[in-house]
Structure 1
Amino acid sequence: MSNEKKPNIGEDFIRFHRIVTRSLEVGLGNINEFLKGGGVDKSKREGFLNYVESFSSFLDGHHKVENQLVFPYFKPLLPEVPYVQLMTEHKEVESLLQEINSGLNSLRSKKDEISSLKQLKSSFVKIDHIWHPHIQIEETQLFQKVGSLNINMDEMTSIQKKFSDFFQEHTGPAYLVVPFALYNLSPEDRALLAAGFPEMVTKQLVPGDWKDKWISMQPFLLR
């Protein structure tokens, strides 16, 4: 997904981390604004719900890929990485994502927006607290070292496809999660990520068939 000539799954996962890092900042920033304003801005309501839903799905799928495929693959190659610690932190985040999903359901019911927003804020803050030291370990001890491992191009391409297929099976809906991923990245990173998708997705579905479904998220996305 990072470069057809020299694929590197480590660079891909660092890029995925950038998606989560930005969406944590955007999500929390907007939650704070809504709390100050006494509730969700009506003009941003649908987009905000879709954005947070996509964030939850993306992060959950990302951790499932790491737990079930990435860590088992790299453990024999990089045994010094604290995999148990990382998976324990994934479990903590999984519980917090369940809280986020509960807060989203409460927001959709329109019963008590302030309480729902406070619940979302609490969960976002807790994930943010775990996230930054967590990815520091993953990136410095694992993903930044992938390029120096003795993995040939065919093998790297094969595991990239395996990881990508698994991620797609465990996230959704694609018409929200794919644009969410692409447009939480800088144009340069976006182009690298998009190169790993079929052209039908990036040139037809995202800008065409899916656009009416994800366009509400645009106020929260990078152009």
Structure 2
Amino acid sequence: MSLGKNIAYLRKRIALTQDELAEKMSVSRQTVSKWETDEAFPEISKLTKLADLFHCKVDTLLREDLEARRNIYSEVSIKTVAGFRMARYVMITPNPEDDVIAYIARWTEQSGLTEYCHGNVTMIGWDFPFVSAEQQNRFGLRGYAAAAVLPEGFDAKLPGVEIAEQPAAKYAVITITDPAAAPFERIPAAYQQIMNYLEANGFKEDSRTDCISCFEHEYEKDGTTFMDVYILADGVAKSNVLTPLQYLT
């Protein structure tokens, strides 16, 4: 474990240069460089400030090997997602993810969508927050929505879902490798990394109601399961500070 490598890793995760981190820490770029090469050790006050900036505990900076996360998470990028039409459904159950995904999977089979897409149906999902405190605390219920993306030309005649339109929008995206290995750790951490990135790059909250605010897309590639996590970047306004972003289309 190296504190310097941890600082460098977390700095790069939120797309800050050494100069930008130095400005935030009120030190010189040379000082940041020495921290990252373990030639110098940050003062306690600076360690606390670093932990606040990176949204982690000081113990995490000092004791964990954060570079090991490279094999789990991709870099955060900004991606333009084209507009699409979807068939969606919501369930509130003790295990809503599995329940509603299974429901949508059955619908895609029965509606002919699976055959239409030659078995390659794109499915997405997101948390459904409108669950009462009584439902959560008394009955252990949670909400989740799942949707199948409808390709152009497909006529969704089978009832049992809501057909909705999603306009084109920019999203901050991160990819998780093997999310099921530790789902309650890896998936929330992915969301946190995106939020750290948006905050560090000067994004501020600005509501937009015509798009899904965040969603997940799980898929397999070469025998490995991946999950892309999306958070709406059009739903925040970028102030004129910090790092210029690379927009991917």
TM over 0.5: no
Q: TM-score, normalised by structure 1?
A: 0.23
Greater relative contact order structure (CA < 8 Å, 6+ sep): 1
Question: TM-score of the superposition, structure 2-length normalised?
Answer: 0.21
Higher helix proportion: 1
